[in-house]
Structure 1
Amino acid sequence: MHVLITGAAGMIGQRLAARIAREGMCAGRPLSRLTLTDVVAPPRPAGFDGPIDIRTEDSSSAAIATELAALRPDIIFHLAAIISGEAERDFDKGYRINLDGMRNLLEAIRQESAKNGLYVPKLVFSSSSGIFGAPFPPAISDEFHVTPLTSYGAQKAIGELLLADYSRRGFVEGVGIRFPSIVIRPGKPNASAGGFFSGIIREPLQGQEALLPVGDDVLFTHASPRSAVGFLLHGASLTREQLGLRINLSMPGVCVTVGEQIEALRRIAGDRAVKLIRRAPDPAAADIVKGWPTRFDARRALSLGFRAEQDFDEIIRVHIEDDLGGRLPN
């Protein structure tokens, strides 16, 4: 089993590569080769004695996509993308990376099959709940209409349509994973418009101040990075028959307000941590978040075996286990 991960230097990509290498398996089959690509060199995961190819390149280009398809990996996890805030600020870059990168990869796979013999890989696409736009029903099902209110959401929505059509035509076996907000992200704040969802937990746990640009009543659905990796791996294991024609799925998660996030932090780390959160209203961030969906009816994903945390306390505990060595600093 040859596995390719684009965007492998990102947070989810690194964890996905590490788990696949550690387990030596993917989709129930032994791993024989792992190819990791990103614009910066992905770290080499431990635990796998077979070949690991580290590539530093812009996989959104048609030429690089052709090279990757020529490797004929059995499973491709297409994670390469720029995040929501950056895609909104830089229109050209957002469409080049998030849309052209997807189209070029799909077309490279089709051309590889046409020129060099039948090749139909499993393609797992990291999509986003940002494909949906307001006004929203109380809970959004997979049947809710796709009307994104951000450029990032539009790029992911078009990517889903391309994946569905290339799958329908038999060029790939695709599955689209619509992530909820993935928290708690380790490291420093990034350019994502929703980065504060992680920041208001991550920084106080480290004894540092965190800025909160929106009100406590903002409602959103979250899952941990551990769950995100689980979503991708489970998606790779599903057959075309299990998925049916609707191959893009909204993932389960924990739906809470910002205020409820803060109370979960209080239960785990105490009032001292909560006092490190400073309100700093940002109308631009609030406007972007206002156009995002909040609660999902993920019954189809659940029926197919996808799982996430049960409450936000569990998400914080996962962060402590996976990123803080199993204990709180200080």
Structure 2
Amino acid sequence: MNIVITGGAGFLGTELLKNLLENFHTINSIKIVDRVSLNPGLITSNRIQSIIADITVAEEVKKIIDKETTHVFHLAAIVSSHAEEDFELGMLVNLKATQLLLDRCREANTNIRFVFSSSLAVFGGQLPEKIDYMTAMQPSSSYGTQKAICELLVNDYARKGFVDAVSVRLPTICIRPGTPNKAASSFVSGIIREPLKHEKTNCPVDLNLPLWVSSPNTVIKNIVHASQINTDSLEGFRTINLPGLQTSPKEMIECLSSEYDESYLGFISYEKDSKIEKIVSSWPKSINNEKELSLGFIKDSNFNSIFSEYVESVK
């Protein structure tokens, strides 16, 4: 296996790196591609190569994918609120770079398994209470539109036999460690993570707003599974709604207070942000994942298990 991970120096990329090294003994090389270097402490093997590159430039993309490449995990993106604020940058990174990567895979080796990290932001409008893999895309943001276009490209490149590609729509990942980012969903991790560090945070949406979430560990396992699945089982439609579970800010905050005590709630403010709420409320509230589960993808049991997993990880 010769692997490329774009956005590989970020949280998801580094967790994916750890999982791959732990579970696959046939890896010859892993190229971690990002705008910054991989944390030196994570370069635990001479098989790991940290590459600083701009994947919006064709010449640089050619240097990172070659005929020996077997797998590409495309995680790099300009996140939701940032893509909404800077349309040109979102189109450049989220759309142009994806097509450049697909074209390079087609040129180098049509057997490459290309796993594209998509988003539930491809949905919007008047959604039913529960969607499934057949629900039409109707994005309500520039980020969602860019992801939707890329999903169609991935599907067509696979249909044409240019690359063995799949798209995985990630639930909102919580609880992420580290610091807030520019994603509209950043608060979902923040309302737990920051109080546990005795730091202030804000919940910008209605406390009862349904959220479709998954733990980082489960998402990583599902991304890896997508790289190994027999794509014939997808019956020509190469997009997968990764399993998740429904929660709400209220349930999450109640879990925090029950597992610790109510003093932690004092770090949370509740100032509404209409822009954030509009984006997040356009996403699916619940998903029928019967097909995905039948294909071997997994889900978390409940939010309490997600909470416990995070607390254990930061001890």
TM bucket normalised to smaller? over 0.9
**Map 1:1-330 → 2, pairs under 5 A:** 1-23=1-23, 25=24, 30-44=26-40, 46=42, 49-70=45-66, 72-113=68-109, 119-322=110-313, 324-325=314-315
Gap regions ≥5 residues in structure 1: 114-118, 326-330
- Assess if the C-alpha contact under 8 Å between 1:128 and 1:153 holds in 2: yes
* Cα offset, 1:285, TM superposition: 1.4
Question: Residue type of the partner of 2:95?
Answer: L
Structure 1 residue 120: Cα displacement? 1.7
Q: How many residues align?
A: 315
Contact conserved, 1:72 with 1:121, CA < 8 A, in 2?
Answer: no
Amino acid at match of 2:60: I
- Determine if contact 1:81/1:98 at 8 Å carries over to the other structure: yes
What amino acid is the match of 2:131? Answer: I
C-alpha contact 2:67 2:108 (8 A) present in aligned 1: no
Gaps of 5+ in 2: none
Q: CA deviation at 1:290?
A: 2.3
RMSD between superposed Cα atoms in Å: 1.5
Partners of 2:4 and 2:65 within 8 A in 1 = no
Query: Which residue type is aligned with residue 198 of structure 2?
Result: G
Structure 1: which amino acid aligns with 2:162?
F
Q: Which stretch of the first structure deviates more once superposed, 307-316 or 70-79?
A: 70-79
Normalised TM-score (structure 2): 0.96
**Deviations 1:58-102 (Å, cap 9, x if unpaired)?**
122221222222253111101011100100000000000000011
Aligned-partner Cα distance in 2 for 1:321–1:246? 38
Q: How far 1:46 moved relative to its partner? A: 4.8
Q: Identity of counterpart residues, as a percentage?
A: 32
Compute the displacement of 1:148 (Å).
0.4
Does the CA contact (< 8 Å) of 1:22 and 1:48 recur in 2? no
Distance 1:204 1:243 in 2: 42
Distance (Å, rounded) in 1 between the aligned partners of 2:233 and 2:68: 24
Which amino acid in structure 2 is aligned with residue 170 of structure 1?
G
* Runs of 4+ with deviation above 4 angstroms: 44-48
3-state DSSP of counterpart to 1:31: coil
Q: Is the 8 A contact 1:62 1:104 kept in 2?
A: yes
Of stretches 304-313 and 286-295 in structure 1, the one that deviates more from structure 2 is 286-295
Q: Residue by residue, what CA displacement relative to the aligned partner does 1:218-247 show, whole Å, maximum 9, x if unpaired?
A: 111100111111111011110122222111
SS in 2 for 1:314: helix
CA contact (8 A) 1:77 1:124 kept: yes
Contact preservation (8 Å) 1:193, 1:288:
yes
Looking at structure 2, the residues matched to 43 and 135 of structure 1 have their Cα atoms a distance apart, in angstroms, of: 43
**What secondary structure, in the 3-state scheme, does the structure 1 residue paired with 2:93 have?**
helix
Instruction: Work out whether residues 5 and 37 of structure 1, in 8 Å CA contact, stay in contact via their aligned partners in 2.
Output: yes
In 2, Cα distance between the equivalents of 1:124 and 1:44?
Answer: 25
Give the Cα–Cα distance (whole angstroms) in 2 for the partners of residues 47 and 305 of structure 1: 30
TM-score, with structure 1 as normaliser: 0.91
Q: Distance in 1 between matches of 2:294 and 2:40?
A: 35
Q: Contact 2:4–2:30 at 8 Å: present in 1 too?
A: yes
